[in-house]
Structure 1
């Protein structure tokens, strides 16, 4: 007899006779198995769905559940029913959260191509599978077990789910990619069509199975409309009122969150009363929740980890009880599996054909088709619903679960192998550097901003860059925001859409106004374009690199992850440091990491005229040449003084004069063009080892507002012996690390420059602890052309 609580083994109780203990054991076993399978399968290219469903089946009654003791205790009726109820509750919350993350207006903003792909991907599988079913029904005997379920199986196999597509893209970190953006919008179109089609089939089959006549169906439809109207006209205005009552920058009240939970339960209960699936009401309510902060992000932050870590594994564990592989025979297997493959192939063809028509590469189109063809938890829920209403039998259910698992497990690694979101900007064959940019033309630059505090240093840096009428600067600024409370990344072009996102209007508008004010002070000299990118930090570098490639930027300037203030040092979130490392590896142009402190923060280029002292520490290599090339542009500014300090080893001094190398040529160019100007200076220091070099660097205190240094230098140089062992920030390189380390007394700002480290296919991944200069030959000029399939920005 199962009870709630156990007295413990020391009082002679068996803990497994108690419901709570058995549930805890079930959850522990399934969650640990899921984590272990994720550890094994995720590196092989699988998504989180496969480890979860396999862990559920592993402990289900078909496998380990066959062991007598396991079946006796884990699958005892009362604890198992409790586990099933809890898992269904978790599924309800999961789909509610997916609704919260979804922006329904995206369907209206998608273009004609997206609609075409979404509809083709939804309709072509039926074109492939329905004739195949028609042929099977003429060949098979009506007494065959799966005969009556063939049309339903074909319709189910042809369905597409927006939630499954988004989950797959999140697991593969492809939300920011071109194919990812297109898959999100296309799956929303095809998902709506599939949901309507499935709802129609389910209602019709349900009526026929239970011989329902009269006014049942019209009343059910009216009740559904009433529930939707209540959600849109009553509950959504209440949620908007909650947002208005929440002060900007403050977390939403806990009472508001509890009220949302009550709304979710009420909508689920109402759906059950009118005969609809229990997740229908919560899903519609989730779509009505305003996405993003403060409400949407608060709900996601509170529930996401609990749902994915506990409730979802328990759902797959409870679902395993319905799976009966003993019923699977070869005769039905050779009927259902080819049908599932036919529908799967139809979805791929329905995606690839319109994609090729829109000039998408074949490999990207195949990857796109496999992404759209994936199946997951939404399909399993719908399959359970069909089984619950006896629309399909146990044998058909088992066959469809098998098809769902192996088709998804086989297609996921192919997507990971075929599609690389970085190849569009890694294939650049033209130099995107300041050193190789012609003079007297537009200089395109791009800057990233995380907080408002990054704005003044960027404006000061832009002022020092000497924009003129003959050589203007096009400055593209991307305000980066972490994706919260939504599933779809957003790129807002504030030139095309002056209406900022209300939830971020204060921050974004202040940044926009600051740069627009500077642009107005420099007519015909500076063109500033501001964007806001809301995306996950894990894939944010893809968005930045893609925009840098499209804008043909010569240099990308990003803030350092530490901010130096008079009150102390502020460390920004760790993902920002990881983001900078990704950009150093994959940026299609030169990269500058701006360490902000000193006069770049205190000076205000909008209200006063400032004089800047700029130093360039030149040793050798392409990164140092890129830093000097940028400093030579600054030297044209009448309010900028540039001092070049050349450090060289004794044994290399003679060789450099005998052989003119690129380093000597650019130094010669600086001496010829700028050494005659009194405010500029050139100094050469001969050093023997790293100790003497450090001593010279220590003398820079109080001398410069900004120092430009290269990030990478030759590893065999004696100047750097032993320095990599003590480096704190590998992304800055050895020299810059000495300037910004905790024991440094230098109080100016530092720009760490890395020249574009690839040309075309000559791409080198650099280790952050041992950096070598990359020498590549410039190939034929070839600009990046964006695919015609790119989803337009908001």
Structure 2
């Protein structure tokens, strides 16, 4: 006889027995023909769960619903409240003689998921957790556990629910499981959610993730302790002691043996898919041992994943197993939870408003505890509310606890249903509520004028520097060195190492590190690639800071897909209240003097950042810019007019304060018919090349006012600054390269130009359509061109303005326009 899940007369999921036929002549399986009777049914069940879960996941993607929740909803479609009420449909997918096969397959799926969960966690991170994260985690554990027991008692009084009677202690175990489900937080699920919501690198995301990993670790510890005592019969203390002894053996003996072997093979790049699969044998061995000792098999799988090294090896394992484990095998496991739910029973109960209130109060316990804990650290109420909501995100641990309580009849079917609905409700509502309550951009609306031009004297110059490698970091340092940091004008640099999210795992623990230099470098190696690359970036900036006592920096890795990484850059910029973002140009200088693209996605990243940034932007093209400690820097700034040129002049003016810098400001005065057409073209800005709320007259007044201020305070007080004006009649745009060639004759180390230089002139607009690099603007594209012949580096500046958006025509449109013009000429 074997058990299966059926519905009683009231629709309540319950246990039932079915007959299984055993064939004594079958010496291998001692049952019926598995390949003929059970394998096809299992294949249909797997296909149904995978296909429906993928469809639902695509439909619910805008709400950022976790995959395991979608898989539970997939199982709900076959429950007695939906398709399960039709016997023909139900029996075509689920029959009693296939329950054992699907349960075995599902349990293997959860073993893989739990193993990957342990592989993603880092034990060192737990030991380095801050005091604030520890207090928030303790509050998020204790409060739900205390209030959870009260809510379960309230549930029993309101609806007269009776837990399964019989053996002693089962009632207290039901309370313990209920409270543990209410208090745990799914760390991997929360990390992915924070990444999708683009708040991972905000203070809210870091605090929530710090607390979540501690709560998740607490859940696994408590699960290991209570499982032996939830089993009927046997020596509970012996089972617990044996399990703890085995875990100690894994960490103290097995881990020191495995880590050097695996890391050596990883460094030598000798891993293949077949050899990685050999490592999976340990999952089954550890799972069998913990199950034999009286603990759940998932404990062994989790511990095995925890003792294996992170970093590149973890990346390889995640790439090999993640999609198959979570998308195919786990789909069958989690669908079983939804299969047992009967929502009609929940709604038909006359006390259902009380049940909704209980679920609400259960979720509010974490919110209340987080708000109280965050208050003592001086955090805003909104942050405390956001952390509490995020910590309500449930994961594998919560449903695993419910499954254990169900299988061991520790909770009634009705309590199980209410608990699962609470888990789903709390997890599904996190993303919409966070999107409404916590909007990072709204927190910084009071600081609109975040530009270098408006930076008052003596204020800290806060810059966010984005780099992909240490070579780019060297060039950025020379630019920062030229900005002349001093005691009167200190410099604060936030260095972001942009790393592509190349696998499905989280590996986002870098956000937890309180030591932004050394700890972040370790995190970058542990999770996403070369420590040498990250460590080289950190050492370059550390050497720069040692030279200038008035400068300080912090380094972090921003891990995201290249399509959305600009949103993380925005959030870090707002968090740091920076007034300038420095981006590397997507092409780098090669040994033969040409420019080649080294990172294909760098161009699209820059264009995305330029679209609607929270502050001013600078794109730097490095052609061998040297340090001021080695040579005097000669800078030329070409000024035509507009907010971008004023911002570029502000940066050049700041650089001119360094005693080793010589600045030449050349103002081009456009005369003739082109100048008379400027006002009309400015108002008919159909291509969106320059979007601003000011009219042309106001722009000219602002240009004149700033130039007069610059000449009065800058040129007259600094002999290293030279200001000249050059009149130019630009009719077709072909005159611009000739003018720039004349300016370039003395030779310069660095060009500084505005991204929008001359865009309000028709001739400049025509040239813009022919630019190979539209993000550099007309002047910047000419200087960056190899045909121009200069060896100078280039800094292109775009000023931040409220409501300003850069809407550039797609590159395909530019080439299409070029092709059309060429065809017309032919």
Unaligned stretches of 5+ in structure 1? 3-15, 771-794
C-alpha change, 1:321 and 1:559, in structure 2 (3 Å) is same
2:330 to 291, 307, 312: 312
Moved more, 328-337 or 186-195: 328-337
Indicate conservation of the 8 Å contact 1:446/1:475, yes or no.
Answer: yes
Structure 2 residue runs of 5 or longer lacking an equivalent are: 1-19, 22-34, 680-695, 811-826
Question: Which of 414, 420, 438 matches 1:401?
Answer: 420
Q: Give CA deviations for 1:295-354 in whole Å, capped at 9, x if unaligned.
A: 223222333333343333333334444445576551575665543333222222222232
Match of 1:182 in 2: 207
Residue 158 of structure 1: aligned partner: 182
Instruction: Give 1:591 shift.
Output: 1.8
Q: Distance in 2 between matches of 1:718 and 1:173?
A: 39
**Aligned position for 1:625:** 646
The residue matched to 1:224 in structure 2 has which SS?
A: helix
Contact 2:227–2:296 (Cα < 8 Å) also in 1: no
Counting only pairs closer than 5 Å after superposition, residues 268-667 of structure 1 correspond to structure 2 as 268-291=287-310, 293-324=311-342, 329-330=348-349, 333=352, 336-424=355-443, 426-429=444-447, 431-438=449-456, 443-466=461-484, 473=491, 475-481=493-499, 486-490=507-511, 501=522, 503=525, 504-518=530-544, 522=547, 527=551, 529-533=553-557, 535-537=559-561, 548=573, 553-566=578-591, 570-573=596-599, 576-577=602-603, 579-581=605-607, 583-584=609-610, 587-596=613-622, 598-600=623-625, 603=626, 608-609=630-631, 612-635=633-656, 637-638=659-660, 640=662, 642-646=664-668, 648=670, 650=672, 661-667=701-707
Aligned to 1:757: 801
Separation (CA, whole Å) in 2 of partners of 1:403 and 1:561: 48
- Quote how far apart the aligned CAs of 1:107 are: 3.5
Contact 2:498-2:557 within 8 A present in 1 as well: yes
Residue 625 of structure 1 and its aligned partner are, at CA, apart by 0.8
Change (3 A) 1:510 1:395: closer
Confirm or deny that 1:707 pairs with 2:751: yes
- SS of 1:275 mapped into structure 2: coil
Q: CA, structure 1 residues 140+237, in 2 after alignment: closer, same or farther (shift >3 Å)? A: same
Cα RMSD between the aligned structures?
4.3
Report the CA distance between 1:383 and its aligned residue. 0.9
Going from structure 1 to structure 2, the CA distance change for 1:571 and 1:721 (only over 3 Å counts) comes to closer
Q: Following TM superposition, by how much is the alpha carbon of 1:231 offset from its aligned partner in structure 2, in angstroms? A: 1.5
Contact kept? 1:236, 1:289, Cα under 8 Å: yes
Alignment of 1:107-186 (within 5 A): 107-134=126-153, 137=156, 151=175, 154-163=178-187, 164-186=189-211
Task: Tell me the matched-pair count.
Answer: 738
Bigger shift: residues 569-578 or 427-436: 569-578
- Structure 2 SS opposite 1:174: coil
Question: In structure 2, which of residues 49, 62, 73 is the aligned counterpart of residue 54 of structure 1?
Answer: 73
Instruction: Indicate if the aligned counterparts of 1:431 and 1:756 stay in contact, CA closer than 8 A.
Output: yes
TM superposition shift of 1:185: 2.0
Shift of the 415–498 alpha-carbon distance from structure 1 to 2, 3 Å rule, reads closer
Contact 2:77 2:339 in 1 (8 A): no
SS in 2 for 1:687: coil
**DSSP 3-state at the match of 2:239:** helix
Distance in 1 (CA, whole Å) between partners of 2:358 and 2:617 is 52
- Where 2:60 maps in the other structure, the secondary structure is helix
| Stretch deviating more after TM superposition (440-449 or 620-629) | 440-449
C-alpha distance in structure 1 between counterparts of 2:457 and 2:361, whole Å: 59
How far does residue 281 in structure 1 lie from its aligned partner after superposition?
Answer: 1.0
**Contact conserved, 1:449 with 1:478, CA < 8 A, in 2?**
yes
Report the 3-state secondary structure (helix = DSSP H, G, I; strand = E; otherwise coil) of the residue aligned with 2:280.
Answer: helix
Query: What is the SS of the residue equivalent to 1:642?
Result: strand
Are the equivalent residues in 2 in contact too, given 1:94–1:307 (CA < 8 A)? Answer: yes
TM-score under structure 2 length normalisation: 0.77
Greater CA deviation, 438-447 or 272-281? Answer: 438-447
